[in-house]
Structure 1
Amino acid sequence: MYEMRTLASTLLREYEWTLPKDPIHADGIKNAFSPFALTLPRDLDIIFRKRV
């Protein structure tokens, strides 16, 4: 659990996270299989840019 926290905090500190223009998730996250199931998001593209 500590490793996950360390990794998440490092990624948040070192990178800017953005979505591409006109993402399918703009109005809310769309599920890959069913709107009623707890699944992974469908085609969730994230752009990482190194902070300066």
Structure 2
Amino acid sequence: MGSQQNLFTVGSKVWVPDAADAWEEGEVVALEGGGGQLTVRLGNGGKGQ
């Protein structure tokens, strides 16, 4: 995997700064917290986990 990307929080979501690039590479774009659970959204090239 590539270098670690810094994350920053917006409300209850965690975003990667270069969301567009990450989206194309199938990296994690956003993590949504709710009820102690996290939903990981991946780009088109991402693999489900």
TM over 0.5: no
What TM-score do the two structures reach when normalised by structure 1? 0.25
Which structure's CA Rg is the greater one? 1
More strand by share: 2
What TM-score do the two structures reach when normalised by structure 2? 0.26
More helix by share: 1
